[in-house]
A and B are shown apart, each in its own frame.
Chain A
Amino acid sequence: MNFMASKQPENSLLGPESDSQRTLYPYVTGTSVVALKYKDGILMAADMGGSYGSTLRYKSVERMKPIGKHSLLGASGEISDFQEILRYLDELILYDNMWDDGNSLGPKEVHNYLTRVMYNRRNKFNPLWNSLVLGGVKNGQKYLGTVSMIGVNFEDNHVATGFGNHLARPILRQEWHENLSFEDGVRLLEKCMRVLLYRDRSAVNKLQIAKITEDGVTISQPYSLKTYWEFSAFENPAQGAIGSW
């Protein structure tokens, strides 16, 4: 007996077909992004790993991209959702350019747009599984903000996502100060990235550091950090105790 069953439109989020259309868990993920304000603008660092669960599947993923003339976006979390966000921002910047009115979207505006996108997706129970860092300089004003997958957003002098919140933020709170020079800023970021490399199992030793100033964005070539593994306490770890330590 087939009564007039209510038919869902194909793209509805209700009914048994819906779950395949919503993000339920992330698949290919990027780990922490760390960023800070310095004298001339913003410095941001992220490694180039794309993990597929516990497998290090992709080793050349660029997780930081310039947005328009004044902003730099870094992302952790689901890489495909990051690429989707870049598509949204492409369209946003395109429309902004098409006005051809001498005005251009600054980092505050882009951050606001991203916040609304993330929050609205969360409201529909279909989040973009990312934590985003948005930094930039416009008319001498530096801006650094972050937004999470459920829409929690704020701006600060230094921000980090994921493990960076646990390992990098305390270092930044201790050692960050106003008007850091470029060299000091890079040194501080490298210190944070090194700790993450030692302690975050999804980190890889291939990173980029990006700089954004009034003059524009520069993203460094990928490089590796020097690491030290010769601590005597780690030598011959099984000595005195059979099995692992």
Chain B
Amino acid sequence: MPKEQANWSPYDNNGGSCFAVAGADYCVIAADTRMSTGYNILTRDTQKSVNYKCVMASSGFQADVKALQKHLAARHLIYQHQHNKQMSCPAMAQLLSNTLYYKRFFPYYSFNVLGGLDNEGKGCVFTYDAVGSYEKVGYSSQGSGSTLIMPFLDNQLKSPSPLLLPARDAVTPLAEAEAIDLVKTVFASASERDIYTGDKLEIVVINADGIRREYMDLRKD
């Protein structure tokens, strides 16, 4: 008997882009707020970022993204009960990697960037693939617009090679306001050419004073 083919896919790509950049004493994480399927826009106003002490922005299949965020929120709460403090950024980074790899053979279709301040107050950004391989970097973008955003970032924020000895700092020398400006420019450009990126941009800034949110309108077409 010939094997029956499935006529539905458990995955869908809901599009969108996300991006994070680390500075000397701040971290900026941004994601657009558009959710699409195929050539349709489902909603122009969804939230792709979630914050604890660090902020995770994700794009990909929204049901998996939300399930992943829920899972991490539950683990974070348990951690707070057991250790009487919030999870640090490097700790959350490892937890996210392990959570993703746990579903290695039925992955969370979620492409994430995690941004925050490390124990010394310096910005750090971690970038992931769908099954949890991760790396600490100075900046990164994921999602449908990442192919447009990443080369521009490489040009503007060129990090020293991680192979150099002694190890050089990956964080950008830009000031916070300049970094935010860069984020806005980058997303405005990505919206021009990526059909899945647009509507509104949500920018989250983490620094010594805490976490704050900003919004900027993007092209709606």
Contacts and interface: CB of A to CB of B under 8 A. Distances in A.
B67 A119 contact: yes
B154 interface: no
Contacts of A115: 63, 66
A119 B12 CA distance: 13
B10 A19 contact: no
Label chain B's interface by main secondary structure: loop
A152 B4 contact: no
Contacts of B67: 119, 151
Nearest to B5: A24
Contact of B12 (A19, A152, A166): A152
Contacts of A153: 62-63, 66
Contact of B43 (A122, A150, A151, A154): A154
A34 interface: no
Interface in B1-43: 4, 6-12, 14, 35, 37, 40, 42-43
Contact of A166 (B6, B8, B10, B40): B40
Given A154-B43, A156-B43, A165-B42, A25 B62 contact: no
Contact of A152 (B6, B37, B45, B106): B37
B12 A150 contact: yes
Interface residues of B, number: 23
Interface of B: 4, 6-12, 14, 35, 37, 40, 42-43, 45-46, 61-64, 66-67, 106
Interface in A143-187: 149-156, 165-166, 169
B160 to A, nearest CB: 41
Nearest to A125: B10
Interface in A108-136: 115, 119, 122-123, 125, 127
Contacts of B46: 154
Contacts of A24: 4, 6-7
A154 B42 contact: yes
A27 to B, nearest CB: 13
14 contacts: A24-B6, A115-B66, A119-B67, A122-B10, A123-B106, A125-B6, A127-B8, A150-B63, A151-B67, A152-B62, A153-B66, A154-B35, A154-B46, A165-B42
B4 A19 contact: yes
Q: Which 5 A-B pairs have the closest CB atoms?
A: A151-B63, A156-B43, A154-B43, A152-B63, A152-B62
B196 to A, nearest CB: 14
Interface in A8-63: 19, 24-25
B43 A119 contact: no
B148 to A, nearest CB: 24
Given A119-B67, A122-B63, A156-B45, A150 B40 contact: no
B144 to A, nearest CB: 16
A236 to B, nearest CB: 36
Contacts of A152: 12, 14, 37, 42, 61-63
Contacts of A151: 63-64, 67
A36 to B, nearest CB: 13
A24 B12 CA distance: 18
A122 B64 CA distance: 11
A150 B4 contact: no
Contact of B62 (A19, A125, A154, A169): A154
